[in-house]
Amino acid sequence: MRERLGIFVDGQWHASSGSDIYTVINPTTEEPYGLTNLGTDLDVDRAVISADRALRSAAWRATTLDERCAMVERIALLLAGRTKELARIQAESMGGLYRTALALGGSLQLIEMYLDSVREVNFEYVRSDRYGNTLITRQPVGVVAGIVPWNAPVRSEVKKVVPALLAGCTVVLKPAPETPFGAAIFAEICAEAGVPPGVVNLVPGGPATGEALVRHPLVRKIAFTGSTATGARIASLGGESFKRLQLELGGKSAAILLDDVDIEAAVPWLIRGNWGNSGQVCTAITRVLTPRRRYADVLDALAAAASEQVVGDPLDDRTTLGPLVTQRQRDKVLGFIAAGVHDGAQLVTGGGRADVDRGWFVQPTVFSGVDNAMRIATDEIFGPVTSVIPYDSEDDAVEIANDSRYGLHGAVFARDEAHALQVARRIDTGSMAINGFYLAASAPFGGIKQSGIGREHGPEGYDSFLEYISYNIPKTLADRLSNELARGARRSGPP
């Protein structure tokens, strides 16, 4: 069994102040896989104090953007050298496909994007108007609490830690208890890459650990990815001390197939967008809205695609669908399927446990006869369950798509791409894809409504890691600074 007990503080591992242990179970074998701590309030306090001390240290405050970029480049190199190890951990601890996990969720590409995007951030500039002259700077927000989910190990850590480092912040990372081992390696890689002690800390744990981190008075920003319910709790707790919030939450995204859709071309994207990572993806396009006259064809195509899926061991290259992360998650998904049948939806295919000797597997499932009053159409299931919903007009499709408390992602499929974009512009959501599923790495990503607050990725992804500070200055100083900045002198944090 793997074992990573303790907390990572000041650049090294220390014993936890508590004795509560979480056993990670391999979802394919249902056997114990590893042990990790459930961090205590004292553990959190120790880590946050370390991060705050590092934030205020002269050495970290003096680092230039170029120096921090060099650290992040070294992190990427070290990460690249351990992809096979990290991919195997992901497959064995949460059931992600090994061959897919070798890409680490695009983590290396994300790091490249963050390095490129930070160069577009204007950290210091002068503004003059009839009322005076102002030096405007953008300075690190402070200690960041990075609370990450289990469904995208390594990628999630990169999204919280790397922009924080480049902005000049310090971080306390709390991985999900189901997937602590990749996060532990990532913290060690940061230290090996030359990130100073205390700048990146890690406390494993569950909800109580997360709440202690959110409540801590020295934490200035919460960067969280996870469920809407947990995000609401974080917003409530963080609001008590006016912490900066960046919350990437749940979704119930719609894929709208227009009347001229090429079904054969769309189905592979629908499969990736519905059943990728066994449906455990916040952006999953699980509501497939289809013109009524094409409805039967779409159902047949999805049923055929489901029959081609290979459910099994994520270490096997033939497998296309691995297990769900825990027995609790498997049972929750089966409960949604039962609710769909109870509410009157019809199973086209799937609907139960996969025919595998052991493991927390669910068959890829397609429902017909679904309307927006059913739980399978309104709630985030986080499993391989697709609802196909007919519509009579494009206005009807837009109304159905927007009839959701979520607004994270979505897609429109049509041969006429310009028309698809026109329809996509009418959907209330944070992002949309045209004839696809994924977004470009630098596209600002995040939700509206109950899908979250703030954006990640691109230059916009730095906004919540930085504070605007304004200085009223005399005109002579304003002219001098303007000339210096025009010559390329630019700081990326406090002088």
pLDDT in tens, 90-128: 999 999 999 999 999 999 999 999 999 999 999 999 999
152 and 11 belong to one structural domain:
yes
Residue 486 has pLDDT above 90, yes or no: no
- For 364-426, strand residue ranges (E) read 365-368, 385-391, 410-413
136 and 278 belong to one structural domain:
no
How does pLDDT run across 246-291, given as a tens digit for each residue? Answer: 999 999 999 999 999 999 999 999 999 999 999 999 999 999 999 9
Taking a C-beta distance cutoff of 8 angstroms, is the pair 329, 359 a contact?
no
Distance CA 122, CA 369 (A): 52
Question: pTM of the entire structure?
Answer: 0.95
- Active site annotation includes 124: no
282, 380, 456, 460: the catalytic one is: 282
Question: 489: pLDDT confidence band, cut at 50, 70 and 90?
Answer: low
56 and 146 belong to one structural domain:
yes
178, 248, 456, 460: the catalytic one is: 248
- Per-residue model confidence (pLDDT) at position 490: 56
14 and 119 belong to one structural domain:
yes
Establish if 492 belongs to a structural domain. no
368 and 454 belong to one structural domain:
no
200 and 302 belong to one structural domain:
no
- What residue numbers bound the domain in which 91 lies? 2-249+450-486
Residue 91's nearest CA partner among 400, 269, 408, 315 is: 315
Residue 487 has pLDDT above 90, yes or no: no
328 and 476 belong to one structural domain:
no
Q: How many domains does the chain have?
A: 2
- Active site annotation includes 282: yes
Residues 6+ positions from 122 with CB-CB distance below 8 Å: 138, 490
Establish if 493 belongs to a structural domain. no
- Per-residue model confidence (pLDDT) at position 337: 98
How does pLDDT run across 162-202, given as a tens digit for each residue? Answer: 999 999 999 999 999 999 999 999 999 999 999 999 999 99
Residue 495 has pLDDT above 50, yes or no: no
